[in-house]
Structure 1
Amino acid sequence: MAAPPDSKADKSPEELLCAAAAAGNTDAIAEIVSSGADPTYFDGSGMTPLMHAATGGHAAAARLLLDAGAPWNALSPSGLSAGDLTSDPTTYDLLLDHALRSELILGTVARRQVPSNSSDGVPAESYLDSRVSFSEDKVMDADSKAVMMEWERPLMEAHARAVCSGGGGKVLNVGFGMGLVDQAIQRYEPEEHTIIEAHPEVYARMLKLGWGEKKNVRILFGRWQDVLPQLGSYDGIFFDTYGEYYEDMREFHDQLPKLLKPDGVYSYFNGLCGDNAFFHVVYCQLVALELASLGYSTQFIPLPVKDCLSEQVWEGVRQKYWQLDTYHLPVCQAESEPE
């Protein structure tokens, strides 16, 4: 007698693995994986076994699949990862912990992410050699990707408030863009306001707008890596470069003990993985861990941005570099010495 159409005999090992994961059947998962089933498999709906386990809130099943090599960062056709699909706190924490450990060791997502507005990795040299265009609400690169946009103004004002919280001291901003954060910093009347800008056209526009004539402003033209010897120590630092990779931001963080005064405040544009909620949380945690290894504690202040981002905002922009409802503004300070 022939087996019914939906029997196990008609399913591949990977299909059986997806079914076991969806049911949270750990014994079946262990048996199917040990027989050679591929845990990286995508089924007909674009879901991996780990996504099925996460959707069902089956933490034990998710752990087995992760141990078997299931990718935590695989995406469904709608751009969701297993971490995005679960509503179970235990499963979410398991996936987050695994993702952090994986990124600390392998950096699988970091290699294709940059710390500012571009989300697909534009090498700094290519950006600096390309033309940029200016309008009232955005600065665009030669590929119609946004370098900075007007919708960011409230965020930049919040960043300025954070790095100027110590009063009228010395402030450093790395990356001018549209000058949104620098306009906000000026309202705090800092003693010294140093701006680093590497793109020749942006630099020329800064001078045309009169930034070089402000008494408390010092402009350094070039990549931050090249002007480091000209820098001092600062009460507040903001970092927002375009066309640099995550590793470049980590390299800048290594300089913080020399650049930031002991009671100073550091912040950066937190655009990492701005198109995926779970990836974004992973990178908030990752940066916080790496800053902690340098002696800094990081607080993330949630700022709602959904109302700032209508479809009209992105007209003419090739890629939406931010698609989340909440922006997590980082405030980093040196950890207090224990008494």
Structure 2
Amino acid sequence: MAAAPDSKAKSPEELLCAAAESGNAEAVADLLSSGADPTHFDSSGMTPLMHAATGGHVAASRLLLDAGAPWNALSPSGLSAGDLTSDPATYDLLLDHALRSELILGTVARRQAPPTDSSDGVPAESYLDSRVSFSEDRVMDAESKAVMMEWERPLMEAHARAVCTGAGKVLNVGFGMGLVDEAIQSYEPEEHTIIEAHPEVYARMLKLGWGEKKNVKIVFGRWQDVIPQLGSYDGIFFDTYGEYYEDMREFHEHLPKLLKPGGVYSYFNGLCGDNAFFHAVYCQLVALELANLGYSTQFIPLPVKDCLSEKIWEGVKQKYWQLDTYYLPVCQEETESE
């Protein structure tokens, strides 16, 4: 009796996943040249690049990236190829490719809200027109997303320590709960300027007496609109809500005029705070863009795992930070940082 035909013959994409998983670069190349789709997700939700990265197969990974495999695709558990690899060479390959892709296309940047916002974000105008609610440990927007939370206090104290070197004139963009501003005040700066754009947050600042502090100057409005009112500062901290990555990049363009020689700039480093590899990409991306402006950036690792119990997130629509380590950026002119 003749053998029954194989009804379960594998597709080119299934073969590509298998070749990538085994690290067979020659087979990967042949399958790609014959038309196998490098963007394919298999039945487990994995792409060929994820399989190659998991095995630490750098040659196969390079072939797949060159063929258009998406570096930022996510598995069902929310992991990218960069998260899945433990091989340094493969990780470096993926990181370099991701940086080049973002510098050219900015595909993730356009989706990501900056520092304190969540990954889907809301336009700044919508946030500024919406109601916010205040409690002892958080400020929330109208969609139950956290604008700022008490668990950030140690981070804000570290940021204040970084930008208050010399305690001259200090600028903070974005008040929120005032955590960083309370810390800045402990250094008794000569002048402490705070920009806040949300009318309810501004009203609360006045109610709490911030407008009566002798060394504090409050500037109400969007930083984009009040830039002409600003001087130059020894320390600057940037932490807005409801804006996008491009907004922070636009702010950076003003640093040469805002930051005095020898001054220190820092920002809340919350970009892609729910994915370790994406976060690493954006640390390096911001550092590269600041380098183009003449600044060098150091990232100081701060453990935050013990600050983030599940109870903290009760009532919050989306966790904007899920990583164990926070990398605090300290930026200075290239010559000064040396």
Bin of the TM-score, shorter chain as denominator length: over 0.9
The Cα offsets for residues 25-73 of structure 1, whole Å up to 9 and x where unpaired, read as: 1111111111111100000000000000000000000000000000000
What amino acid maps onto 1:140 in structure 2?
M
What amino acid maps onto 1:148 in structure 2?
M
Q: Which residue of 1 aligns with 2:149?
A: 149
Query: CA separation of 1:233/1:35 partners in 2, compared to 1, >3 Å: closer, same or farther?
Result: same
Query: CA separation of 1:261/1:62 partners in 2, compared to 1, >3 Å: closer, same or farther?
Result: same
Q: Which residue of 1 aligns with 2:317?
A: 318
Following TM superposition, by how much is the alpha carbon of 1:117 offset from its aligned partner in structure 2, in angstroms? 1.9
Following TM superposition, by how much is the alpha carbon of 1:337 offset from its aligned partner in structure 2, in angstroms? 7.5
Distance 1:99 1:223 in 2: 32
Aligned length: 336
The Cα offsets for residues 231-264 of structure 1, whole Å up to 9 and x where unpaired, read as: 0000000000000000000000000000000100
- Is this contact kept in 1: 2:134–2:140, CA < 8 A? yes
Q: Which residue of 2 aligns with 1:246?
A: 245
Q: Which residue of 2 aligns with 1:124?
A: 124
Q: Which residue of 1 aligns with 2:79?
A: 80
Q: Which residue of 1 aligns with 2:59?
A: 60
- Is this contact kept in 1: 2:296–2:337, CA < 8 A? no
User: Structure 2: where are the runs of 5+ without partners?
Assistant: none
The Cα offsets for residues 127-171 of structure 1, whole Å up to 9 and x where unpaired, read as: 000000000000000000000000000000000000001x22000
Query: CA separation of 1:2/1:211 partners in 2, compared to 1, >3 Å: closer, same or farther?
Result: farther
2:201 corresponds to 1:202: yes
Q: Which residue of 1 aligns with 2:98?
A: 99
Following TM superposition, by how much is the alpha carbon of 1:3 offset from its aligned partner in structure 2, in angstroms? 7.0
Following TM superposition, by how much is the alpha carbon of 1:114 offset from its aligned partner in structure 2, in angstroms? 1.2
What amino acid maps onto 2:287 in structure 1?
A
SS in 1 for 2:335: coil
Q: Which residue of 1 aligns with 2:133?
A: 133
Report % sequence identity.
88
The Cα offsets for residues 285-316 of structure 1, whole Å up to 9 and x where unpaired, read as: 00000000000000000000000000000000
What amino acid maps onto 1:35 in structure 2?
S
Distance 1:325 1:204 in 2: 35
Distance 1:67 1:157 in 2: 44
The Cα offsets for residues 159-217 of structure 1, whole Å up to 9 and x where unpaired, read as: 0000001x220000000000000000000000000000000000000000000000000
1:152-301 equivalences in 2 (<5 Å): 152-165=152-165, 167-301=166-300
TM-score by length of 1: 0.97
Following TM superposition, by how much is the alpha carbon of 1:121 offset from its aligned partner in structure 2, in angstroms? 2.1
Query: CA separation of 1:113/1:129 partners in 2, compared to 1, >3 Å: closer, same or farther?
Result: same
SS in 1 for 2:110: helix
What amino acid maps onto 2:114 in structure 1?
P
What amino acid maps onto 1:137 in structure 2?
D
Distance 2:111 2:99 in 1: 16
Query: CA separation of 1:276/1:152 partners in 2, compared to 1, >3 Å: closer, same or farther?
Result: same
User: Structure 1: where are the runs of 5+ without partners?
Assistant: none
Distance 1:55 1:86 in 2: 5
What amino acid maps onto 1:127 in structure 2?
Y
The Cα offsets for residues 97-124 of structure 1, whole Å up to 9 and x where unpaired, read as: 0000000000010001011222212100
SS in 2 for 1:40: coil
- Is this contact kept in 1: 2:139–2:148, CA < 8 A? yes
Distance 1:130 1:160 in 2: 29
- Is this contact kept in 1: 2:262–2:336, CA < 8 A? no
TM-score by length of 2: 0.97
Following TM superposition, by how much is the alpha carbon of 1:93 offset from its aligned partner in structure 2, in angstroms? 0.3
Distance 1:204 1:2 in 2: 81
Distance 1:112 1:142 in 2: 20
Which piece of structure 1 moves more, 110-119 or 204-213?
A: 110-119
Distance 2:40 2:309 in 1: 36
Following TM superposition, by how much is the alpha carbon of 1:2 offset from its aligned partner in structure 2, in angstroms? 3.9
SS in 2 for 1:258: helix
Distance 1:129 1:291 in 2: 31
Distance 1:338 1:139 in 2: 35
SS in 2 for 1:111: coil
SS in 2 for 1:265: strand
Query: CA separation of 1:215/1:338 partners in 2, compared to 1, >3 Å: closer, same or farther?
Result: closer
Distance 2:113 2:130 in 1: 18
